[in-house]
Structure 1
Amino acid sequence: MFRLPFRFFAAVLMLAAAALANAAHAAQPATVRVDYTHSGNALSDQYALERVVIEPLPWPGSTARNFDDTNRGQNRVEVVDAKTGDLLYSRGFSTVFGEWRTTEEAGKMSRSFQESVRFPKPDRPVRVRILERDERNQFSVAWSVDVDTDAQEVVRKQPALPVKPIPVHVSGPSSDKVDLLIMGDGYTAAELNKFEADARRLSKYLFSVSPFKERAKDFNVWALAVPTAESGISRPSTGVHRASKLGTRYDIFGSERYVLTLDNRALRDIAQHAPYEFIEILVNNETYGGGGIFGQFSTAAAGNAWANYLFVHEFGHHFAGLADEYYTSPVAYAAASTRMEPWEPNVTALRDPANIKWKRHVKAGTPLPTPWPKAEYEEASRAYQKKRAALRAANRPESEMNALFHDDLEATNALFAGKPGRPLPHRHDVGAFEGANYEATGYYRPAMQCLMFDRSGAFCPVCQDGITEIIDLYAGAAR
């Protein structure tokens, strides 16, 4: 008797779920995208409108959750009624420009970056406001523009895409779920099956890590890649240059492992053909690298031995605005001159220990700051960073770098385990461990070890809370 394979039925069910999601979308408002330029330097910045676009797909989010109360991001977009000033929509986000302006280059010259904000199409003219955090860490309006989404100059029709999004993990209608779009860059036409396999493999790993594991049914995952002529993306520091569809490359801001795209127009014009609220770009490379901008996108080298870690760590930046908790690796950013309380949920300047932002996780009697073997860790880290720099300078095989990363994690685990019969007293406590946010002093992280601190495999309780809050914003009960 002939029997169809299980994979066939699974594919039919997946496509049926996708059809259900699209049907639910039919009642949704259209998606509006405002493209603009953001230019300036370390001291000042300016904005200018480029265009207003009605995207091909309906709004993927719930209109019952239009207001963001998480206080995340260096920026916030607010859409208000042009006549009454009533708030219709808000979201926090950060930008590539915001990171660039902390680099040494921004003190010497001005640059322009492309940015976009998206929101459900209103039934009236609106004012779109971009807010920035000021010196008091409070939001204030930096730019506003009046937008009539029914005006003649609004772009309503764009070329079709030669490929279709692939449903990877569909839990229900987009309006009730978090929609994650995994995009590929540097995959040739012959490698599109590899891209799909990479997207499925890494999304599966994402949902093995708490709290994504427990909330997997609150997500839809889609995959989309436009093939490139050559395999891989540019890595200018080694003389490798590739013409890729998204413009993703290594060596952003002079950091050899930092992978971003600066071509926002290309990114959005492709992404708009799939339902999405969050984007992770998989680059078809083996070299360790990635990046993440809150509310914009994240990236990960899909072919690297540490791709699982890269995918989840960078998504933590993009999805929840989690800060890096490490501080011994070289970065492109200049050190802050003041210790303002960070907006990120998982780092603190500890200005008021009695009211630390993650107070509910701190057990009575836990000292703040919390002792840990900081000096020993830093001594080992200096030696590790020296070896790492030497490997990159000599352009050694990636297998040697991967082995070094493994040895470094093993050494950290051994240090934090303590001596036989003498475990470290606060090894698994939540407290305030000095050293975070790229600085050795003045900033503190919640736990001795976390996925945002090193290449270990779990988020600390505070980071888990930060992620859960964003899941609830997009897929929780109506706010």
Structure 2
Amino acid sequence: MKTRLLFFFLLISFIASAQNFNDYFTDKTLRLDYIFAGNANQQNIYLSEMIQLNKWHGRVDNLSVTPIQGNGQIKVYSTANDKLIYVLPFGSLFQEWLTLEDAKKQFKSFENSFLIPFPKEPIRVDISFFTADRQDRILSQQFIDPKDILIRKSKDVQNPYEIVHHSKVKNPIKIALVAEGYAENELDLFMEYAHKTVENLFKHKVFKKYQDYFEIVAVKTVSKQSGISIPSKDIWLNTAVKSNFDTFYSNRYLTTLHTKLLHTQLENIPYQHIIILANTDFYGGGGILNSYSLTTTKNKEFAPVVVHEFGHSFAGLADEYFYAEDVFENKATLSIEPWEKNITSLVDFSSKWKSLLKAETPVPTDASMQKEIEIGAFEGLKGNGLYIPTLTCRMKINNTEDFCPVCSNAIEEMILFYTTKQKK
């Protein structure tokens, strides 16, 4: 695993050396708002708005490579030479919905917003989905001129914020903690949970090791009503980013469909990753790669869940628990290897954590051996064909102290990907 990490960073360093950020981009952000629409048989992607923000807060190295595929990717090309100059993998609620029976019966649309560096010259932006067999399918191509008068220039900060964790590098990984369901007189309570989020994140060894590479701000977005919408209880509230439980009729799945509103609340605040802190004691949450994570603060399981959900949104880690009755499950095609680093179908196990196994470890590994074997290939749910590294990991259960070695390596790889050229 360590050898593969070293090879990866030697590779991306070589690729990145051929491209300097300033060759193609300015120190500003271009926000692209899209509508993803369709059904199980037909998907379309439409650009709805473009916004220029004051500063770029994302990575400045390794722009045209990515350590994970995601369920889709946004790719930016220079129209002058057709060179790939930026890529970002992502997940989306739309793609999750496409796996459900509902998507076979009707059309729906979902918002999605992406942040890319603001280009100096005209670009082409491609958005693609990966099919079940991991084929790259382009669904949108947009030609963008940075001089376009219809790019809205946003200059104002929409909400007050405080830095709750300072970095010690020039270009840190920037996270925004967003208040959701907190009325104005509850913002002090939100700040308490913001500090608890930082504390809980850096209790985990891999994040603690690299805590100097993170800058975290708490954004004081005020909700007109206190609490979170719970449709199954007929509770609908007017909150800052309009989140709700019961996503896809799963009572604990907490998301927001209003990503444009979310990013508007964050205009000109230093962020690239988003953790939404929801003011409720109802158990639940959600995390979507390079979109956001969402966690309830007043529930007794807040501490482990907020880190678990960030594992999804930051590193693209998969859930390691599988329930037969869940509405949404990992429906990976078992004839291929899933892209997530912490699950395997054993089709290409050598590309995952096989090198971490002791020679005597059986594959698959029986659950009865969990006490004597730190890392194996344990079946996630009997008969589902997906295997996980351990039975005690932050991505599987709440009552454990940390991520397993496989997930820790995946997080470390992502942190180094964002910061590999930086020095303290």
Fold match (TM-score > 0.5): yes
The answer to whether 1:34 aligns with 2:32 is yes
User: Mind listing any 5+ residue stretches in structure 2 that lack a counterpart?
Assistant: 1-24
Q: Are the aligned partners of 1:346 and 1:445 in contact in 2 as well (CA < 8 Å)? A: yes
* Aligned CA distance change for structure 1 residues 213 and 28 (closer, same or farther; 3 Å): farther
* Aligned CA distance change for structure 1 residues 337 and 96 (closer, same or farther; 3 Å): closer
Q: Distance in 1 between matches of 2:92 and 2:282?
A: 25
Q: Shift in Å at residue 93 of structure 1?
A: 0.9
Higher mean C-alpha deviation, range 314-323 or range 221-230: 221-230
1:49 maps to which residue?
47
Q: Distance in 2 between matches of 1:261 and 1:181?
A: 16
Alignment of 1:300-379 (within 5 A): 300-328=295-323, 330-333=325-328, 336=331, 338-339=333-334, 340-353=336-349, 355=350, 357-373=352-368
Q: Shift in Å at residue 330 of structure 1?
A: 3.5
Q: Distance in 2 between matches of 1:31 and 1:110?
A: 32
2:375 maps to which residue?
430
Q: Distance in 2 between matches of 1:131 and 1:296?
A: 16
Q: Shift in Å at residue 101 of structure 1?
A: 1.0
2:8 maps to which residue?
none
Q: Shift in Å at residue 360 of structure 1?
A: 2.2
Q: Are the aligned partners of 1:350 and 1:356 in contact in 2 as well (CA < 8 Å)? A: no
Amino acid in structure 2 at the alignment position of 1:431: G
* Aligned CA distance change for structure 1 residues 440 and 273 (closer, same or farther; 3 Å): farther
Q: Distance in 1 between matches of 2:115 and 2:370?
A: 48
Q: Shift in Å at residue 146 of structure 1?
A: 0.3
Q: Distance in 1 between matches of 2:175 and 2:201?
A: 11
Amino acid in structure 2 at the alignment position of 1:472: L
Alignment of 1:86-101 (within 5 A): 86-101=83-98
Q: What secondary structure, in the 3-state scheme, does the structure 1 residue paired with 2:112 have?
A: strand
2:263 maps to which residue?
268
Q: Distance in 2 between matches of 1:294 and 1:427?
A: 33
Q: Distance in 2 between matches of 1:337 and 1:281?
A: 28
Q: Shift in Å at residue 440 of structure 1?
A: 4.3
Q: What secondary structure, in the 3-state scheme, does the structure 1 residue paired with 2:367 have?
A: coil
1:243-268 CA-to-partner distances (Å, cap 9, x unmatched) read 11201111111011010000111001
Q: Distance in 1 between matches of 2:370 and 2:243?
A: 44
Amino acid in structure 1 at the alignment position of 2:123: V
Q: Are the aligned partners of 2:157 and 2:267 in contact in 1 as well (CA < 8 Å)? A: no
Q: Distance in 2 between matches of 1:128 and 1:142?
A: 11
Q: What secondary structure, in the 3-state scheme, does the structure 1 residue paired with 2:236 have?
A: coil
1:112-156 CA-to-partner distances (Å, cap 9, x unmatched) read 111122111111000001122134314342221001121111111
2:76 maps to which residue?
79
Identity of aligned residues (%): 32
Q: Are the aligned partners of 1:104 and 1:334 in contact in 2 as well (CA < 8 Å)? A: no
Aligned length: 396
Higher mean C-alpha deviation, range 69-78 or range 246-255: 69-78
Amino acid in structure 2 at the alignment position of 1:442: G
2:405 maps to which residue?
461
Q: CA RMSD in A?
A: 1.9
Q: Distance in 2 between matches of 1:137 and 1:121?
A: 30
Q: Shift in Å at residue 69 of structure 1?
A: 2.6
* Aligned CA distance change for structure 1 residues 458 and 98 (closer, same or farther; 3 Å): same
* Aligned CA distance change for structure 1 residues 188 and 359 (closer, same or farther; 3 Å): same
1:477 maps to which residue?
421
Q: Are the aligned partners of 1:327 and 1:440 in contact in 2 as well (CA < 8 Å)? A: no
1:408 maps to which residue?
none
* Aligned CA distance change for structure 1 residues 356 and 335 (closer, same or farther; 3 Å): closer
Q: Are the aligned partners of 2:154 and 2:267 in contact in 1 as well (CA < 8 Å)? A: no
Q: Distance in 1 between matches of 2:154 and 2:76?
A: 23
TM-score (norm 2): 0.89
1:437-476 CA-to-partner distances (Å, cap 9, x unmatched) read xx74310001122111111221111100111111112122
Q: Are the aligned partners of 1:181 and 1:222 in contact in 2 as well (CA < 8 Å)? A: yes
1:119 maps to which residue?
116
Higher mean C-alpha deviation, range 27-36 or range 186-195: 27-36
1:13 maps to which residue?
none
Structure with the higher fraction of residues in helix conformation: 1
1:147 maps to which residue?
144
TM-score (norm 1): 0.79
* Aligned CA distance change for structure 1 residues 268 and 445 (closer, same or farther; 3 Å): same
1:207 maps to which residue?
202
Q: Are the aligned partners of 1:103 and 1:334 in contact in 2 as well (CA < 8 Å)? A: no
Alignment of 1:383-398 (within 5 A): none
2:252 maps to which residue?
257
1:183-216 CA-to-partner distances (Å, cap 9, x unmatched) read 0110001001111111011111110112111111
Q: Are the aligned partners of 2:176 and 2:274 in contact in 1 as well (CA < 8 Å)? A: yes
Q: Are the aligned partners of 1:328 and 1:440 in contact in 2 as well (CA < 8 Å)? A: no
Q: Are the aligned partners of 1:68 and 1:473 in contact in 2 as well (CA < 8 Å)? A: no
Q: Are the aligned partners of 1:165 and 1:273 in contact in 2 as well (CA < 8 Å)? A: no
1:395 maps to which residue?
none
The answer to whether 1:451 aligns with 2:400 is no
* Aligned CA distance change for structure 1 residues 176 and 335 (closer, same or farther; 3 Å): closer
Q: Distance in 2 between matches of 1:38 and 1:116?
A: 10
Q: Distance in 2 between matches of 1:335 and 1:346?
A: 12
Q: Shift in Å at residue 328 of structure 1?
A: 2.5
Amino acid in structure 1 at the alignment position of 2:101: E
Q: Distance in 2 between matches of 1:332 and 1:303?
A: 25
* Aligned CA distance change for structure 1 residues 323 and 425 (closer, same or farther; 3 Å): closer
Q: Distance in 2 between matches of 1:330 and 1:458?
A: 27
Amino acid in structure 2 at the alignment position of 1:92: P
* Aligned CA distance change for structure 1 residues 453 and 301 (closer, same or farther; 3 Å): same
Amino acid in structure 1 at the alignment position of 2:416: D
Q: Distance in 2 between matches of 1:258 and 1:315?
A: 15
Higher mean C-alpha deviation, range 136-145 or range 126-135: 136-145
